[in-house]
Chains A and B, each alone.
Chain A
Amino acid sequence: MTAALAVAPTTPRGGSPVRPAAGPALLAAIVAVNLLGFVVPVLNLLRLSFLKVEATGTLRETFDLSSWQAILTDGFYAGLLVDSVRTCALITGLTLVLSYPIALLIHRCRGTIRTLLLVLVVTPLLTSAVVRTYGWVALLYDQGLVNGMLMALGLSAPLRLMFNTVGVVIGLTEILMPYMILSLLAGFGRLDPRYEEAAMTLGASPWRTFLRVVLPLTLPGIALGCLLTFVLALSSFITPKLLGGGRVFLLATEIYDQAMVTLNWPLAAALSMVILAMFGLALVLYGRLVRRIG
């Protein structure tokens, strides 16, 4: 049996044309792409964060700790980190609450309706985030649609919906919803209507069925969606920049400013490493959670 198996792999079995020998080759390609596209640039960034920069923006190839010193001692950066994480956590939570019912509905639909709903979810991804952000500007500014309606209903002064955290949260939540919905759907595999029916025959009201059966079975999707949304929120800068109007300070916008405006590349590089560390942390948390559920 073992001998037969040892010989067998040269013939494709079970309809799979991939020969075992192709495995390492395929892996090598992935490793190479990752090395060139991710590991090397990150290492380069790490090196950059320890360089010295002149006021003019000129880099000098000398070892220097001032960027890291600024991040670790200047209260501004600690505050920035806390604010960013808090804002992004809020965005993630809102996105989850708004996306979950939609994902559940799509999961339960079949046929044409399901396809149609999925197309509706994916369509916004075909438009750039810049365009969608300007869309929100048109809706949220003082004379925009939302305020126009509110004033018509008797509001005396326009609500400040832009150039503050509110605007950033609204904009990013909407922009990230498709990612959340798709992640949720990907993680809803274990949810079968029969489990809900079983719960109901055992005396569970619809609400308790949701809490005790639906929610636990969709936790993998929730974890995946939250991870993805949080990471995307933390790294987006166009929407915070436009809807924050320079008054909302987040890690990503600060990195952009340091790199493109102040031309302090070492500080930008060091802040990038901080964001990367946050991603790593989120990933570890996700891994823990998934193992717990699994």
Chain B
Amino acid sequence: MTATDAPGHLAIRGLTKRYGGFTAVDGLDLDVARGELLAFLGPSGCGKTTSLRMVAGLVPASGGRIVVGGRDLTDVPTHRRDMGLVFQSYALFPHLSVARNVAFGLEMRGIGRAEREARVREAIALVRLTGKEEHRPAQLSGGQQQRVALARALVIRPQILLLDEPLSNLDAKLRDEMRIEIREIQQRLGITAIFVTHDQVEALTMCDKVAVMNGGRLEQLGPPLDLYERPATPFVASFVGRINQFRARAAGGIVGLGEARITGAGPAEGPVEVMIRPHRIALRPASAPVEDAEGRLNTVAGTVARTTFAGDVLHYEVAVGDAMIGVEEATRSDAGPVAPGTPVRLSWRPDDTLLFAAVARDGRMRP
């Protein structure tokens, strides 16, 4: 357990998977601290499952290392890796009862009957399935099966717990419940875990850190707040939360938008991608008095093109020059929706303006 080279409990170095000429996972580097829950977040086909399966040893890596607690597991077969895996489809053994499913890993470890039974009972109670021990998987609901899969992976007290979109087959309400449940169990037992998801809400609400992946590469790794407030790439900015995005040109740190000049954090010269979250923009009728006397905010003038009432929030689309900017405001009882056609003033903090160097539309964009 030399802590010199491997700062994380789980360290992944340059992990790569190639299928023929296609690179599914491209040089993944990351660390997961002991007891931490890390999310793999990314669009479909970005290599999340492949990465997870390489960590579990179910898919041989084309390159890179997997180190757990200082021990290199890259060439260790799956059954000696001591990792619990919850499959997207649960993969409960259909020929075994709930109790036998949960007991399977303990039997494989040669744990005596008395201890086995106690631990199985405990694990089944943990996922609140007491009374269902003798049911077959086919007799359980999706959520119950999912909990059995979780109990089966947890009962062996694995070094690392891997979860591959375990909630994607559940309805919204059950998903919310299971999120909290999984997080609670993971924290209580202090397990190091990776949670694969393509649902940003799941990643942001449950996990200590999020690894955003795109096209087989790691785009950014950080706590949810960092990802949201300081996205490293336009991809992360647009994948995590909603955001306005348009092209503009920067000169001397000033970006021209319509008639107005705005500032933000990012490259000072050349073509830029401007990104602003819709709910960070304040919308006022042009006739209203200017509140920002010191001129510290970015302010642009525009015309409301569309107003959509959605209960909690009002969505506006505002034409500013030839750009269309989405604005979101909480509904209020003292002011009704601003009608389309109304001239308005939009303002937001320069810090909320994300600027990225623009590259060709179809190419990868880097800050």
Chain A proximity mask over B62-90: 1 for CB below 8 Å, otherwise 0: 00000000000000011111111101010
Q: Is A201 touching B93 in the complex (CB atoms < 8 A)? A: no
In the complex, how many residues of chain A place their beta carbon closer than 8 angstroms to a beta carbon of chain B? Answer: 21
Q: Is A200 touching B93 in the complex (CB atoms < 8 A)? A: no
Interface residue tally on B, bucketed by range: 20 to 34
CB-nearest residue of chain A to B84: A201
CA distance A202 to B105 in the complex (A): 5
**Of A192, A206, A216, which one neighbours B91 at CB under 8 angstroms?**
A192
**Of B56, B82, B87, B95, which one neighbours A203 at CB under 8 angstroms?**
B82
- B168 CB to nearest A CB, Å: 15
CA distance A204 to B85 in the complex (A): 13
Interface residues of B (CB under 8 A from A): 56-58, 77-85, 87, 89, 91-95, 104-105, 108-109, 152-153, 156
Q: Is A195 touching B105 in the complex (CB atoms < 8 A)? A: no
**Of A198, A203, A205, A208, which one neighbours B93 at CB under 8 angstroms?**
A198
**Of B57, B58, B95, B104, which one neighbours A202 at CB under 8 angstroms?**
B104
Q: Is B85 touching A213 in the complex (CB atoms < 8 A)? A: no
Chain B proximity mask over A2-16: 1 for CB below 8 Å, otherwise 0: 000000000000000
Q: Does A19 contact B (CB under 8 A)?
A: no
A-B contact pairs, 25 of them (CB 8 A): A192-B91, A194-B89, A197-B58, A197-B78, A197-B87, A198-B152, A199-B93, A199-B108, A200-B78, A200-B79, A201-B79, A201-B83, A201-B84, A201-B85, A201-B153, A203-B80, A203-B108, A204-B104, A204-B108, A206-B79, A212-B104, A213-B93, A217-B93, A217-B94, A293-B95
Chain B proximity mask over A179-223: 1 for CB below 8 Å, otherwise 0: 000000000001010110111111111101100110011000000
Decide: A208 near B108, CB < 8 A? Known: A200-B79, A201-B84, A202-B156. yes
Q: Is A199 touching B104 in the complex (CB atoms < 8 A)? A: yes
User: Which A residues are in CB contact (< 8 Å) with B153?
Assistant: 201-202
Interface residues of A (CB under 8 A from B): 190, 192, 194-195, 197-206, 208-209, 212-213, 216-217, 293
Q: Is A201 touching B78 in the complex (CB atoms < 8 A)? A: yes
User: Which A residues are in CB contact (< 8 Å) with B56?
Assistant: 201
Q: Chain A at the B interface: mostly helix, strand, loop or mixed? A: helix
Q: Is B87 touching A198 in the complex (CB atoms < 8 A)? A: yes
Nearest 5 A/B pairs, CB to CB = A202-B105, A203-B108, A194-B91, A200-B78, A198-B91
- A221 CB to nearest B CB, Å: 13
CB-nearest residue of chain B to A202: B105
**Of A190, A194, A204, A213, which one neighbours B79 at CB under 8 angstroms?**
A204
- A8 CB to nearest B CB, Å: 29
- A242 CB to nearest B CB, Å: 43
- A117 CB to nearest B CB, Å: 23
Q: Is B94 touching A190 in the complex (CB atoms < 8 A)? A: yes
CA distance A266 to B93 in the complex (A): 53
User: Which A residues are in CB contact (< 8 Å) with B84?
Assistant: 201-202
CA distance A200 to B56 in the complex (A): 10
